[in-house]
């Protein structure tokens, strides 16, 4: 990938956790099947945002936010039905587990939250070089009530946002110098299209 | 305002509906007070996202989305508590009523939804000159299930997104030619900071 050569303003760059996109497979793992059956409360064979939300707790014992659940469903909902079937679910299941593993690596005290330092370490590990001001901005954006902590669902939302906007930026950064020139409608398309 | 002179790539531009930001006033109107009492189910003197969601129905008889309610609360929640008091609520109440008036102007058949043509007319009326492709993109983004209609809560979310990103763009468009040059971290700050 040509982007990896020479000066890279984004560091090594972000990529989805390994295993997030396994090859299509008609065999569903027993773990995923069991979890699917638990989450699919109405036995419709499909999982929607509400069912996912009811099944996922963040570190504080609260449900994952609607924002996080909608985002995760939309990432694997190939037919844009607002629901996912067992095959789409298995990919989501792997994806969530990968994020939980990343998150737990940095949540060393097991509090279910990571603080500013831990978030900086996580993003650095993902290959980003962000200024302390930007990390502080991310914390404030995730946690407007000022507790300076990011829960696992907020962490997933942040990482997916950063991933999407970074990809949109890279495509346009033809000089690979970390700046782009962009028109109004294209800017709106990227900003609104990649927002959650 | 210098931006209005000469070529303006955004058209006349968007501004908040008149009355959205009334001057601070310790007198609350009886209408707003009555509505506040109805919405504040737990009589805490504060309204949170769930209470607002329970009180607002879109045209289909569904509740407003969590996204729309969180957005509206955050716009008037000066102390970032996640709740609004009666004074903040009155501003929100006026704001919602202004949007309902705009929406109803374009929802001529009273269906509770506007279609692609009606959305284009509404945005043109707000002073934007968008391409048909961009309008189509907005519809798809608002309604991924492909019904090609935008409900009132989706309309509010769209307009606030457009407003925020347009403001962020304008600040950086020092040449006023409809293009900006922007660095990676600044781009992420705008994109994530103005997203909902």
ipTM: 0.78
Q: To the nearest whole angstrom, how far is the Cα of A92 from the nearest Cα of chain B?
A: 19
Fold of the A112-195 domain? Recoverin; domain 1 (1.10.238)
- Considering only alpha carbons, which residue of chain A is nearest residue B144? A80
Q: What are the structural domain ranges in chain A?
A: 28-106, 112-195
List CB contacts (< 8 A) between A195 and chain B: 161, 191, 195-196
Chain A residue with CA closest to B139: the answer is: A193
* Confidence at B196, pLDDT banded by 50, 70, 90: low
Interface mutation target, options B11, B154, B195, chain A, most CBs of A under 10 Å: B195
Least confident of B56-70, B72-86, B112-126, B175-189: B56-70
Top-confidence range, A8-12, A23-27, A58-62, A67-71: A67-71
**Distance (Å, whole) CA B12 – CA B8:** 7
Q: What is the pLDDT of residue B112?
A: 84
Query: Is A180–B178 a contact, with Cβ atoms under 8 angstroms apart?
Result: no
B193, closest residue in chain A (CA to CA): A141
Alpha-carbon distance of B26 to B71, in angstroms, equals 24
CATH code for residues A28-106? 1.10.238.10
CA-CA distance, B78 to B3, in Å (whole number)? 29
Q: What is the per-residue pLDDT for B90?
A: 92
């Amino acid at each position: 990938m040509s982007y990896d050569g020479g000066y890279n303003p984004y560091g090594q760059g972000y990529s989805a956790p390994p295993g997030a996109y396994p090859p299509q497979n008609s065999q569903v793992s027993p773990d995923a099947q069991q979890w699917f059956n638990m989450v699919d409360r109405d036995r419709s064979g499909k999982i929607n945002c509400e069912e996912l939300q009811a099944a996922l707790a963040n570190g504080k014992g609260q449900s994952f936010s609607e924002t996080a659940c909608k985002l995760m469903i939309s990432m694997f909902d190939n037919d844009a039905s607002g629901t996912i079937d067992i095959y789409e679910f298995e990919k989501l299941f792997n994806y969530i587990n990968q994020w939980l593993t990343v998150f737990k690596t940095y949540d060393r005290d097991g509090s279910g939250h990571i603080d500013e330092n831990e978030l900086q370490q996580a993003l650095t590990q993902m290959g980003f070089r962000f200024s302390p001001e930007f990390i502080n901005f991310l914390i404030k954006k995730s946690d407007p009530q000022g507790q300076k902590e990011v829960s696992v669902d907020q962490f997933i939302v942040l990482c997916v946002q950063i991933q999407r906007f970074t990809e949109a930026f890279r495509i346009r950064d033809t000089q690979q110098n970390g700046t782009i020139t962009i028109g109004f409608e294209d800017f709106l398309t990227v900003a609104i299209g990649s927002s959650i």
